[in-house]
């Protein structure tokens, strides 16, 4: 078993006024939030095009809400095309199918309604329909040459934040891994966020999505502050945390703590649905500039190997990644502890930071999310493969507040597989 990584030379957290002074946010042109806001969709689409492609999944396409939106669009004289074959973790094959079927149809705007995969599909299809080629031509950062056709995003789950992010994550079977298409040109022209559309989200999916949103908030708040240059901002999507992203994270963390358990216990609680969805929106806004980090880098190959929900893969990793990162982010984890009410404000910073980490773990446990890797079906024989692939996700590992190498990832995997949370790196 790997030994605990050395912490004596860990870099100090970056929190000076100058280094957190940058205020950069990437976001949709418009955001509409609140119960009933879906009724604004026909007017928005009508102002953009006379032919809309709706991208969704099989479950959503059969819902009364979807049918009502489609009928209202048609009643306004719009041509409405529908693709309802979106699959979880957005396989590249879905993109190929949509572009082949609708590439010459004269689509003027795309409505992505559903979970993260549906919205990611809408965003990336907009690029391929406009600029041609294969989605693989756009893997990476800032490789999209210009805007695509307008996209309107409508989430029906509270987790990914894809409605407000500038990235689509694609599973490429031939590569055996998830890859990102990251560019400000993927940003939606409007995000319509209606909590009523999440009322029928199944409890298991609600919990998995909520765990994902929680990880976004934690990783954005505890990530690196990079004080990016103008060139960095023009060439990289994730340029580090700043005062504005911290505002969203600080709002979202206690809101999710309050609402997520309630909505998992009572899916019909509209107030809890609204708060959970708003927390997920806050998380999406935070990561769209700050980025995600180590837990997401490691989860991607684990998800490909175990075929488990992304949010539950993240929940099984987060306790161990937080412990690993603790030496470099004591003030941030201490603040999380105070936000959650799990920390004694009279205690030391370290005591409060540990309480912040256990407070996050308590949220995950309260919704029945897995908190160890063995539960996911990961084999120790796969640790080296997971570590190697995780370290290829440099866009994510570069955001981790503490450097990651092969030995460090193995250490996290070993502790996570054993479910051992008795250790602290400091």
Confidence of residue 261 (pLDDT cuts 50, 70, 90): very high
The predicted structure's pLDDT at residue 10: 42
Q: Rounded to whole angstroms, how far apart are CA atoms 128 and 210?
A: 30
- 87 backbone dihedrals φ, ψ, rounded to 5°: -110, 160
SS3 153: strand
Asked whether residue 141 falls in the same domain as residue 280, the answer is: no
The predicted structure's pLDDT at residue 372: 96
Number of compact structural domains in the chain: 2
User: Residue 54 CB: number of other CB atoms within 10 A?
Assistant: 27
The predicted structure's pLDDT at residue 4: 59
Asked whether residue 166 falls in the same domain as residue 209, the answer is: no
CATH of the domain at 334: 1.20.1090.10
Confidence of residue 19 (pLDDT cuts 50, 70, 90): low
| Residue 74, pLDDT above cutoff 70 | yes
Q: Where is the domain boundary, 136, 165, 193?
A: 193
Q: Rounded to whole angstroms, how far apart are CA atoms 317 and 88?
A: 20
Asked whether residue 139 falls in the same domain as residue 180, the answer is: yes
Share of the chain above pLDDT 70, in %: 95
Q: Rounded to whole angstroms, how far apart are CA atoms 69 and 333?
A: 43
Name the DSSP class of 91.
B
CATH of the domain at 184: 3.40.50.1970
31 has which bridge partners? 191
Q: What is the mean pLDDT of the chain?
A: 94
- The reply to whether 31 falls in a domain is no
Question: Cα–Cα–Cα angle for 273, 335, 399, nearest 5°?
Answer: 85
Nearest-Å Rg of the Cα atoms of the chain is: 21
Asked whether residue 406 falls in the same domain as residue 307, the answer is: yes
327-359 per-position pLDDT tens digit = 999 999 999 999 999 999 999 999 999 999 999
Asked whether residue 211 falls in the same domain as residue 182, the answer is: no
The predicted structure's pLDDT at residue 230: 87
- The reply to whether 207 falls in a domain is yes
pTM of the model: 0.93
Asked whether residue 47 falls in the same domain as residue 108, the answer is: yes
Q: Given the DSSP bridges, would you call strands 79-83 and 51-55 parallel, antiparallel or unpaired?
A: parallel
- 82 backbone dihedrals φ, ψ, rounded to 5°: -130, 130
Q: Given the DSSP bridges, would you call strands 151-155 and 190-193 parallel, antiparallel or unpaired?
A: parallel
The predicted structure's pLDDT at residue 228: 86
Domain of 124 in residue numbering reads as 37-193
Q: Please state the separation of Cα 424 from the chain's center in Å.
A: 27
Average pLDDT over residues 141-153: 97
Q: Rounded to whole angstroms, how far apart are CA atoms 351 and 240?
A: 26
SS3 417: helix
Residue by residue, DSSP assigns 96-123 as HHHHHHHTTS---EEEEEESHHHHHHHH
Q: Where is the domain boundary, 193, 212, 238?
A: 193
Asked whether residue 139 falls in the same domain as residue 219, the answer is: no
| Residue 209, pLDDT above cutoff 80 | yes
- The reply to whether 19 falls in a domain is no
The predicted structure's pLDDT at residue 271: 98
Asked whether residue 183 falls in the same domain as residue 279, the answer is: no
169-207 per-position pLDDT tens digit = 999 999 988 999 999 999 999 999 999 999 999 999 999
Asked whether residue 340 falls in the same domain as residue 391, the answer is: yes
- The reply to whether 424 falls in a domain is no
**Using an 8 Å Cβ cutoff, are 404 and 294 in contact?**
yes
Share of the chain above pLDDT 90, in %: 89
Q: Where is the domain boundary, 169, 193, 217?
A: 193
């Amino acid at each position: 078993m790997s030994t605990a990584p050395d912490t004596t030379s860990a870099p100090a957290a970056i929190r000076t006024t100058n280094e957190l002074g940058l205020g950069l946010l990437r976001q949709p042109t418009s955001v509409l939030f609140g119960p009933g806001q879906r009724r604004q969709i026909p007017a928005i689409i009508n102002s953009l095009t006379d032919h809309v492609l709706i991208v969704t999944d099989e479950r959503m396409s059969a819902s009364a809400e979807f049918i009502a939106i489609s009928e209202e669009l048609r009643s306004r004289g719009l041509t409405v095309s529908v693709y309802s074959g979106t699959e979880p973790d957005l396989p590249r094959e879905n993109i190929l199918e949509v572009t082949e079927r609708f590439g010459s149809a004269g689509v003027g705007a795309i409505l992505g309604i559903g979970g993260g995969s549906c919205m990611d599909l809408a965003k990336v299809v907009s690029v391929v329909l406009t600029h041609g080629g294969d989605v693989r031509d756009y893997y990476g950062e800032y490789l999209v040459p210009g805007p695509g056709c307008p996209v309107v995003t409508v989430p029906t789950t509270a987790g990914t934040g894809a409605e407000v992010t500038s990235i689509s994550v694609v599973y490429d079977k031939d590569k055996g891994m998830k890859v990102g298409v990251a560019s400000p040109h993927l940003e939606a022209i409007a995000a319509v966020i209606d909590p009523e559309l999440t009322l029928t989200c199944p409890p298991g999916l609600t919990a998995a999505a909520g765990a994902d949103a929680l990880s976004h908030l934690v990783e954005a708040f505890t990530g690196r502050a990079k004080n990016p240059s103008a060139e960095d901002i023009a060439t990289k999507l994730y340029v580090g945390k700043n005062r504005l992203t911290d505002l969203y994270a600080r709002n979202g963390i206690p809101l999710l703590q309050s609402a997520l358990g309630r909505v998992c216990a009572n899916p019909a609680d509209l107030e809890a649905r609204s708060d959970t969805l708003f927390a997920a929106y806050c998380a999406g806004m935070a990561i769209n500039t700050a980025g995600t980090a180590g837990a997401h880098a490691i989860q991607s190959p684990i998800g490909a190997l175990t075929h488990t929900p992304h949010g539950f893969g993240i929940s099984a990793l987060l306790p161990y990644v937080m412990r690993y990162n603790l030496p470099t982010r004591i003030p941030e984890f201490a603040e999380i502890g105070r936000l959650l009410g799990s920390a004694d404000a009279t205690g030391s910073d370290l005591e409060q930071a540990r309480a912040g980490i256990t407070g996050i773990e308590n949220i995950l446990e309260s919704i029945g999310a897995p908190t160890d890797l063995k539960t996911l079906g990961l084999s120790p024989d796969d640790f080296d493969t997971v570590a190697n692939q995780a370290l290829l996700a440099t866009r994510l590992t570069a955001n981790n507040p503490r450097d990651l190498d092969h030995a460090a990832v193995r250490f996290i995997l070993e502790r996570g597989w054993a479910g051992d949370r008795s250790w602290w790196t400091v």
